[in-house]
């Protein structure tokens, strides 16, 4: 006993040293993103987001606009109490569907039988697979605002429009001035060269009450539906929910194509096949041979290029030279086809600033190097600029001959090729070092305990229990610190994603581009529909239901998009 008592101060000192070391490492890790990050933001890049009338201007960086739907609620939370947030989110958010052609509502309304075949979304992210007279409401699940659950409801029940918190206007699906809808004209070849006329003014209902927010919703390019570039037309809406990064709620196809609703996994970071298992050449899948971007003509030129160094394998209707691959009698998916190639084509059918469809995410997810032609802003949101080959003015190649040579050179250089995909392996588990440290400490303690008396072992067990408790507390502190980083930092962020094993782990993305960090932070707000409901809750919290300055009044964005600013005041603006 005396020996054990004498040994106690030594273990007490050892415990103190270990605890001090753990706390020191935790503090360093929690803040290292601010000192060791690869990417830095230039404070001089800040710009004005101009609003109308006497509304105050807000200073944000250009890239911050990409995550506006996430950053604005965070700023609101800094002054709002938890009780106020809970009160604002307590009442259901009801958004009426006056006219919809956008996924997921287009399938839900027009093809109710097909919705059950569209994958996990129908089974896991909504209540009921149909919207019709018997089932007029769509409950978007798992929606939250600052961690507080939201009952997010979309309805086609016209009797609820008068009291709805918001109205959803899918602008490409609005009835046109010539009497037909854009969805019906889209099936004709004329549509590709002669976009439909502007929507009927009468199709947009006036606000039914002063707190109602009308959303202009679109994931379709302004090259086809130019009226979203009309200030007079956009004056009809209180908030914008389009693909443009300056929208109050930026709509994206990411969640519909690369988000696993069952596990919560972000498939963009799924591992790719090894270099040696991928085919040489370029995988090309396209059956829309008339888009104004010139994609089909460009790829036809490449496929027929004399003495081409890179083979183009076309599986779609345009320039087809390969049958669709099958395996065991089953056709492969687009993702599976892309996975088997070193390069794949991810070109847009039209070019409009910020119009970035699912094509780039399909390629990045599959692990092939995308060959992109489209919005100049694509480099703002991809994980790394070098992860993409950009065709066109200011890109990596401006002629088909240059593109062919570049792809061939990269394919022949394995190290160069793998550097373009290195971003997939950059994120690391947040507490990886913590587990190694913990194992080392436990091992040391076990070795020491073998050589001492039973009493000391008992004391050490108590010490181990204390250490485990302290480690759990420190892990919680680190998670909280990194969660705060997600919603407040402007340069470095950690993102919590759900992995296929259904365990929530945090990955560091501070080495990836700031724009991609903002994009991932925005996606933490959930689906486009969830973020629309969160926007309503944010407005309730702020008590501001006035018309927001949409993209056409954002001079910073207009300058980037090379569009003119029309200083037009909308009716009713102060």
Q: Are residues 382 and 352 in the same domain?
A: yes
Instruction: Give the DSSP per-residue string, 238-279.
Output: SEEEESSTTSSS---SHHHHHB-TTT--BGGGSPPPPGGGSE
Nearest to 260 by CA among 356, 119, 381, 425: 119
From 378, 397, 420, the end of a domain falls on 420
Distances (CA, A) of 136 to 97, 139, 153, 517, 527: 10, 10, 10, 37, 20
Other C-beta atoms closer than 10 Å to the C-beta of 22 total 18
Q: Are residues 406 and 339 in the same domain?
A: yes
Q: Are residues 237 and 119 in the same domain?
A: yes
pLDDT > 90: percent of the chain: 42
Say how far apart CA 48 and CA 4 lie, in whole Å: 69
Give residue 144's domain range: 48-257+527-561
What tens digit of pLDDT does each residue of 313-338 get? 999 999 999 999 999 889 999 999 99
Residue reference for tokens 């160094």? 309
Residue 10, domain member (yes or no):
no
Mean pLDDT of 211-237: 92
- The alpha carbon dihedral of 384, 390, 392, 396 has a sign of positive
Other C-beta atoms closer than 10 Å to the C-beta of 424 total 18
> The pTM is what?
0.70
What tens digit of pLDDT does each residue of 348-388 get? 999 999 999 999 999 999 999 999 999 999 998 999 999 99
Instruction: Give the DSSP per-residue string, 541-555.
Output: HHT--SPP--GGG-H
Residue 33, domain member (yes or no):
no
pLDDT beyond 50 at 127: no
Q: Are residues 167 and 135 in the same domain?
A: yes
From 403, 420, 437, the end of a domain falls on 420
From 420, 454, 483, the end of a domain falls on 420
Ranges 66-70, 139-143, 270-274, 570-574: which has the least confidence: 66-70
Q: Are residues 196 and 75 in the same domain?
A: yes
Mean pLDDT of 415-424: 94
Q: What's the confidence (pLDDT) of residue 269?
A: 84
Q: What's the confidence (pLDDT) of residue 424?
A: 87
Q: What's the confidence (pLDDT) of residue 346?
A: 96
Residue 446, domain member (yes or no):
no
Residue 398, domain member (yes or no):
yes
Q: Are residues 243 and 288 in the same domain?
A: no
Q: Are residues 126 and 247 in the same domain?
A: yes
Ranges 31-40, 167-176, 512-521: which has the least confidence: 31-40
Domain count, the chain: 2
Distances (CA, A) of 22 to 8, 18, 34: 21, 6, 20
- CATH code of residue 405: 3.40.50.11660
Q: What's the confidence (pLDDT) of residue 537?
A: 96
Q: Are residues 77 and 180 in the same domain?
A: yes
pLDDT beyond 50 at 40: no
> Which span out of 163-177, 324-338, 457-471 was modeled with the highest average pLDDT?
324-338
Q: Are residues 250 and 386 in the same domain?
A: no
Residue 282, domain member (yes or no):
yes
Residue 426, domain member (yes or no):
no
| Structure confidence at residue 497 as a pLDDT band (50, 70, 90) | very low
Q: Are residues 219 and 183 in the same domain?
A: yes
Q: Are residues 359 and 293 in the same domain?
A: yes
């Amino acid at each position: 006993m005396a020996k054990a008592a004498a040994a106690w101060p030594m273990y007490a000192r050892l415990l103190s040293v270990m605890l001090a070391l753990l706390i020191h490492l935790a503090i360093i890790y929690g803040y290292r993103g601010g000192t060791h990050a690869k990417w830095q933001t230039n404070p001089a890049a800040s710009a004005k987001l101009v609003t109308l009338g006497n509304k105050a201007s807000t200073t944000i960086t250009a890239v911050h606009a990409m995550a506006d739907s996430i950053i604005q609620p965070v700023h609101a939370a800094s002054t709002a109490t938890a009780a106020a947030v809970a009160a604002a989110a307590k009442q259901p958010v009801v958004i009426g569907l006056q006219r919809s052609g956008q996924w997921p509502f287009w399938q839900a309304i027009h093809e109710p039988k097909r919705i059950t075949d569209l994958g996990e979304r129908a089974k896991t992210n909504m209540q009921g697979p149909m919207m019709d007279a018997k089932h007029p409401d769509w409950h978007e699940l798992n929606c939250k605002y600052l961690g507080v659950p939201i009952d997010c409801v979309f309805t086609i029940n016209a009797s609820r429009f008068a009291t709805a918190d918001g109205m959803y206007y899918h602008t490409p699906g609005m009835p046109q001035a010539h009497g037909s809808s854009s969805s019906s004209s889209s099936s004709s070849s004329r549509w590709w060269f002669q976009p439909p006329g502007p929507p009927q003014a009468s199709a947009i209902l006036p606000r039914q009450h002063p707190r109602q927010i009308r959303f202009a919703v679109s994931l379709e390019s302004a090259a086809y539906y130019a009226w979203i570039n009309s200030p007079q037309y956009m004056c009809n809406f209180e908030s914008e929910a389009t693909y443009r990064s300056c929208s109050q709620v930026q709509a994206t196809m990411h969640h519909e194509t690369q988000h696993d609703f069952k596990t919560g996994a972000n498939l963009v970071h799924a591992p790719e096949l090894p270099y040696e298992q991928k085919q040489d050449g370029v995988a090309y899948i396209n059956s829309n041979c008339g888009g104004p971007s010139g994609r089909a003509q460009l790829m036809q030129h490449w496929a027929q290029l004399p003495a081409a160094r890179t083979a183009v394998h076309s599986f779609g209707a345009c320039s087809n030279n390969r049958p669709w691959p099958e395996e065991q009698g089953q056709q492969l998916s687009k993702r599976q086809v892309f996975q088997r190639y070193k390069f794949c084509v991810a070109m847009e059918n039209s070019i409009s600033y910020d119009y970035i469809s699912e094509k780039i995410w399909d390629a990045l997810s599959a692990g092939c190097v995308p060959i992109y032609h489209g919005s100049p802003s694509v480099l703002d949101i991809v994980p790394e600029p070098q992860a993409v080959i950009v065709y066109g003015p200011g890109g990596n190649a401006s002629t088909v001959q240059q593109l062919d040579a570049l792809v061939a050179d990269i394919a022949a250089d394995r190290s160069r090729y793998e550097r373009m995909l290195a971003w997939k392996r950059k994120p690391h588990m947040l507490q990886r070092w913590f587990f190694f440290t913990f194992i080392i400490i436990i091992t040391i303690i076990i070795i020491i305990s073998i050589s001492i008396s039973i009493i000391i072992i008992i004391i050490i067990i108590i010490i181990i229990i204390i250490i485990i408790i302290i480690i759990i507390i420190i892990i919680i502190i680190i998670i909280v610190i990194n969660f705060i980083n997600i919603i407040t930092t402007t340069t470095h962020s950690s993102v919590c994603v759900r992995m296929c094993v259904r365990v929530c782990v945090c990955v560091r993305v501070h080495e990836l581009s700031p724009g991609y960090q903002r994009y991932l932070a925005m996606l933490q707000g959930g689906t486009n529909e969830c973020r629309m409901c969160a926007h309503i809750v944010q407005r309730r919290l702020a008590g501001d239901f006035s018309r927001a300055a949409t993209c056409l009044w954002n001079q910073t964005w207009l300058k980037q998009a090379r569009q003119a600013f029309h200083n037009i005041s909308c009716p009713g603006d102060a």
